[in-house]
A and B are shown apart, each in its own frame.
Chain A
Amino acid sequence: MSFVSPVWLVALAVIPCMLAARLAARRRARRYAIRFTAVPTLRLAAQGRPSIWRRLPGALVLAALTAVVLALARPQLSDRVAVGEASMMLVTDHSGSMAAAERSADTFIHELPSTVRVGAIAFSSTPDAVQAPVSNHAAAQEVIDGQTAGGATATGDALQLALQLLDGGDAKHPPSAIVLLSDGAANAGVDVITVARQARQDRIPIETVALGTPGGVLANPDPLGAPLAVPPDPQLMAQIAQASGGRAFDAQTADQLSSIYERLGKRLGTVARRHDVTAAFAIVGVVLLALAAAGATRWSGRLP
């Protein structure tokens, strides 16, 4: 929650002031108390009365006052609404084992609102399957589904291509994002960090998802060779995300990947929007005030 004119919150200081004034009034009441000789008996007679009912109207007034002061400060709530013009590139590395990634990418695309245009790039040594951002989500899905594992990892090239597809070299472009899924170190093509900095300039965050386990191995293409170790490089992925203003995720299982994609899909497809809740606070204040008045009339026979 945020406030449009938080200077009004200073008025909350009136609440301790009111409490102090009430205490002073109680002390002053000693002076006009009526002499009465049967006070001990009366104390017995009035016993058993819960003091909470006597204090409740006062507390309600203070709560109402708080609500009204908060209403004066014009509070706003922020929530996420779907973006109409957003574009998204899914950059997927198919150099490693991508069977799990395929299904997860499907989840991701499914989560995106239909208004978001989705493109996809599958890459290994070079970006070899490219789909520019279109509203038809099935096209991107086909690219993801159609890839086969194998080859080197030219992350830089793929990201550069994705950037070009998203903004076309134009600084003015609809809100966009790149989701990079990779399981290995970038070992070919242009420098990844340079591309990430470029993305930041273009205001296109790269959300990175590092896939795989540290002890992951891959069958050697040479039937006689030892299995190839393919450890993920989370440090590099984190660097890319940081340099481009995105966030880095780390997925070790297919389930984790799915949940990350789900979160990303929700976040990237929507944008934070603030809306005014002043009226609600004002209504709560008025209702509390009315309750306090009713309660005080009922229990004390006077207005609080």
Chain B
Amino acid sequence: MSVTVLDPPAGRQGPGPIPQQLIDALDLAVSRLVARTLPGDRRAAGVGLGTELAQLRPYEIGDDVRHIEPSATARTGQPHVRLHVPERALTTWIVLDVSPSMAFGTARRLKADVAEGVALVFGRLGVRRAGSLGLVTFGAPTARVLAPRGSKPGIVALRRALAEGVARDGCRQPEALAHAVARTARLARQPGLVVAISDFRDQRTWERPLGSLRMRHSVVAVEISDPREAQLPAAGHLALVDPETGARIEVDTSRPRVRRRFAELERERRAQVARELRRLRVDHVALSTADDWLPALGRHLR
């Protein structure tokens, strides 16, 4: 069971208040974001219920008589029916990182807290207008999948999953993001919105699955980082341990050369991630634990 390996991280702050007005304001932005998958932009396969005309064709036995088009029938003298472009409710998939590295934060809150907030915002946006919400977590020994559910049940399930916290230290899965994205691509049959929330740290081979996911879906990549991961303070001699690998290192952070090189390498790494996301034409939202994440997210989406 995934419950046994997940823990609410120590020093958990929670995402903070998420005002309804902000959600309302973001709604528009998100619907614009996923407009490509709504009728008119990208058509779903086949025909179905909707408001937009797809085609007119002669009536066949079995067609709904309510869809008989009067004008066309009168002009041709043959019954015609009106078929519509299917309008399907939006399905939002949240791909959430629960690896041990998310339980880290040195500024206002943990990375896991920010991730929780972002998941809640997109969850609440996703269940609007009869949308449904699915969840795929990764980074823990057992991945968790919540089938898409609409409205309140979807939000409740998301909240419950978020409350479980993140994986305990010592769990290293460098290809978890790639697997989770591939799994989402298999699960999400209809075009929708996929929000990948991760620190994109120590993950590899995720580019190709994310690219193929992007072919069908609108994808938002939310990268969460901590200021200490970008720049080390001069704190003297430090003994540090990696929460995922357990690797231990002793380093003298008062040496400017080490700090400079660390900052350089980190900048390079993040630039690499940004470059890769841009290449895949994935919306890239970079959030920091030091800022107020909600306005930052809103600014980006608008």
Residues on A lying within 8 angstroms of B by beta carbon are 29-30, 32-46, 299-302
Contact = CB atoms under 8 A, between A and B. Distances in A.
Contacts of B262: 38, 41-42, 45-46
Interface string B228-251: 110010001111111111011111
Given A35-B241, A36-B240, A301-B237, 6 more contacts: A33-B240, A33-B241, A34-B240, A35-B104, A36-B228, A45-B265
A48 B36 CA distance: 51
B254 interface: yes
A301 B239 contact: no
B243 A37 contact: yes
A299 B262 CA distance: 19
Interface residues of B, number: 36
B248 A30 contact: yes
Contacts of B52: none
Given A29-B239, A35-B243, A36-B240, A42 B254 contact: no
Given A39-B247, A43-B249, A44-B265, A300 B239 contact: no
B292 interface: no
B104 A37 contact: yes
20 contacts: A29-B250, A33-B240, A33-B248, A35-B240, A36-B228, A36-B242, A36-B243, A37-B101, A37-B104, A39-B241, A42-B232, A42-B249, A42-B258, A43-B247, A44-B261, A44-B265, A45-B258, A45-B265, A46-B249, A301-B236
Contacts of A37: 101, 104, 199, 201, 226, 229, 242-244
Interface string B13-43: 0000000000000000000000000000000
A110 B255 CA distance: 67
A286 to B, nearest CB: 26
Nearest to B237: A301
Interface of B: 101, 103-104, 169, 199, 201-202, 226, 228-229, 232, 236-245, 247-252, 254, 258-259, 261-262, 264-266, 269
| Chain B interface, >50% SS class | mixed
Contacts of A41: 262, 265-266, 269
Contacts of A29: 239, 250
Contacts of B251: 42, 46
A40 B241 CA distance: 10
Nearest to B260: A45
Contact of A38 (B229, B252, B259, B261): B229
Contacts of B103: 35
A46 B241 CA distance: 14
A39 B240 contact: yes
B2 to A, nearest CB: 22
A9 B302 CA distance: 78
Contacts of A32: 239
List the 7 closest A-B pairs by CB distance, nearest first: A39-B242, A45-B262, A33-B241, A36-B240, A45-B261, A33-B239, A37-B101
A37 B258 CA distance: 16
A32 B240 CA distance: 9
Contacts of B202: 40
